[in-house]
Structure 1
Amino acid sequence: MRAMVFDGDSPILREDDVPDPAPGDGQMLIDVHACGVCRTDLHLVDRELDRPKRPVIPGHEIVGTVAELGAGVRGFAVGDRVGVPWVGHTCRVCRYCLSARENLCDEARFTGYTIDGGYAERTVADSRYCFHLPAQYSDVEAAPLLCAGLIGYRTLNMAGDARRIGIYGFGAAAHIVAQVARHQQRTVYAFTRPDDQAAQQLALRLGAAWAGASDEA
């Protein structure tokens, strides 16, 4: 299959022919339809993340269809459309895993960083960390929800029932969570880098009550 590979040295991914992956126990083989680009992917190729798998296929906002099931997979069938996020494996027994904070697990493994990801024609993923996707979203529309959407919604939940929400930085995650917050009839304030007029205008178009620089009151 074709894949875009990061070898750990050059910041430019190289196109390569690599063997098709095979699903192990609990895994699914997935035909990739779309894979978004996250800021973390850029951190990876800029070598700002230590100890990546080398070489590695980046990409963790994956949308595709199940092509093959490994032994023991439950809740999925061949042909299902699924999403694959950043967190790809955890121990499931530590205090973080048992308190819905799996992203802090010391044994966590991450798609496109320590596990091969979605910049390829096919990928394998642990079925326990995959999602069924609703039909109303296209593949391209659904892909950013697998990271930017998830982390934005997680932080919004952590804000409890706060009616005024301040968002620092207005990029991929923020522009999604701002729409959710406005749908919930919360008031959104968007803080951006000084002089980032484009991000401020985007925030206002999406319903923010105020948008300005992070050094402003």
Structure 2
Amino acid sequence: MAVMVAMQIDAPHTPLRRVERPVPRPGAGQLLIAVIACGVCRTDLHVADGEIPARYPVIPGHEIVGHVLEIGAEVEGFHIGQRVGVPWLGHTCGQCGYCLSGRENLCDAPEFTGATRDGGYATHVVADAHFCFALPESFSDVAAAPLLCAGLIGWRALRLAGDGQRIGLVGFGAAAHIIAQVAVWQGREVYAFTREGDVQAQAFARSLGCCWAGPSTERPPVELDAALIFAPVGALVPAALKLVRKGGRVVCADIHMSDIPSFAYSDLWEERQILSVASLTRDDGTSFFEMAARSGLHTITKTFPLEQANVALDRLRSGALSGAAVLIPPREDTATASHD
């Protein structure tokens, strides 16, 4: 019997461990996918730390690039061998008011890849075909992986920022390094905020076209039209409010954030807004990948073998990565075997 290899979280605050399981079969409306690469996202840390709803044990990972191995019943538009991407939003009910009004990212009964259904820290994954994307050919497998969440969530956050020309990116990691390039390509001014003393991240931001880079404790030389927060630190919200102009927006792009401390109403007054990003819609994905193919953006990645998933997560937690970590599963011929 063919088996798949995966790195599994058994319970919060425990290291991932290597497991073997039978290769799953796709049901109606599903695809069986051979995973080529899977990005490591901060949301995976939230799953590992029990900070967001998840079912355990679970295989994390929701920035999945792979090839279609098997197609379930009632699936159209895909073929065997096709390269596809699988994002965080893994399934919606299609029946609630949010789904019916084009806001499926707010679905009342969603499933999330790598949290409430098994994800891509594995050699194989089963995914809902409706939530799989064709990927631009201009991106390699590894380069495409961070686009499936860091890119998509950054894109939704930027769309929520509106038409503002002066954009602040608070927390310059995987998402910010992608969306900075997009905003620069759009002709916007981008201001990058990093951890105190992280001159490497500041230099990295400037190399991607940011016109200013400094610590989050420092004011930029201009008022911002919008600030996008990619770090899960609630104290950054009132700090960002002080940086945006009248009518400006602060967009919180992380799925989990520490408590936001109290702040003076005067900091919010004059029609400033605080918004949050809740997952993505398929329209976000379609528009983002079309834009990504035209913009010439590139992702900065560091690859790790699948079995070093704990190492990659530790590097992410400590802020020791520039760009995004990507896991590479073993080849299918070494990940499967015959068992009696």
User: TM-score w.r.t. structure 2 length?
Assistant: 0.61
Give 1:23's match in structure 2, choosing from 15, 22, 26. 26
Give 1:36's match in structure 2, choosing from 21, 36, 39. 39
* Residue pairs, 1:1-217, within 5 angstroms: 1-9=4-12, 11-50=14-53, 52-217=54-219
Partner SS state of residue 19, structure 2: strand
Match of 2:301 in 1: none
Partner SS state of residue 34, structure 1: strand
The 8 Å contact of residues 12 and 47 in structure 2, kept in 1 or not, is answered as: no
Task: Name the CA distance, whole Å, in 1 between partners of 2:108 and 2:93.
Answer: 8
Instruction: Specify whether residues 97 and 199 from structure 1 end up closer, same or farther in structure 2 by C-alpha distance, changes over 3 A only.
Output: farther
* Aligned-residue RMSD, C-alpha: 1.4
Partner SS state of residue 144, structure 2: helix
Deviation at 1:99, TM superposition (A): 4.0
The 8 Å contact of residues 29 and 128 in structure 2, kept in 1 or not, is answered as: yes
Partner SS state of residue 159, structure 2: helix
Task: Name the CA distance, whole Å, in 2 between partners of 1:19 and 1:213.
Answer: 48
Task: Tell me the amino acid that sits aligned with residue 116 of structure 1.
Answer: D
Match of 2:274 in 1: none
The 8 Å contact of residues 5 and 123 in structure 2, kept in 1 or not, is answered as: yes
Task: Name the CA distance, whole Å, in 2 between partners of 1:140 and 1:8.
Answer: 28
The 8 Å contact of residues 31 and 71 in structure 2, kept in 1 or not, is answered as: yes
Task: Tell me the amino acid that sits aligned with residue 117 of structure 1.
Answer: G
Partner SS state of residue 216, structure 1: coil
Instruction: Specify whether residues 192 and 96 from structure 1 end up closer, same or farther in structure 2 by C-alpha distance, changes over 3 A only.
Output: farther
Task: Tell me the amino acid that sits aligned with residue 214 of structure 1.
Answer: S
Task: Name the CA distance, whole Å, in 2 between partners of 1:76 and 1:93.
Answer: 24
Count of aligned positions: 216
Task: Name the CA distance, whole Å, in 1 between partners of 2:75 and 2:140.
Answer: 25
Partner SS state of residue 118, structure 1: coil
Partner SS state of residue 22, structure 2: coil
Q: Which moved more, 1:133-142 or 1:156-165?
A: 156-165
Deviation at 1:93, TM superposition (A): 2.9
Deviation at 1:172, TM superposition (A): 0.6
Partner SS state of residue 54, structure 1: coil
Partner SS state of residue 95, structure 2: coil
Deviation at 1:134, TM superposition (A): 1.8
Q: Which moved more, 1:67-76 or 1:86-95?
A: 86-95
Percent identity over the alignment is 62
Task: Tell me the amino acid that sits aligned with residue 112 of structure 2.
Answer: F
Deviation at 1:178, TM superposition (A): 0.4
Task: Name the CA distance, whole Å, in 2 between partners of 1:202 and 1:134.
Answer: 25
Deviation at 1:200, TM superposition (A): 1.6
Task: Name the CA distance, whole Å, in 1 between partners of 2:184 and 2:35.
Answer: 32
Partner SS state of residue 154, structure 2: helix
User: TM-score w.r.t. structure 1 length?
Assistant: 0.94
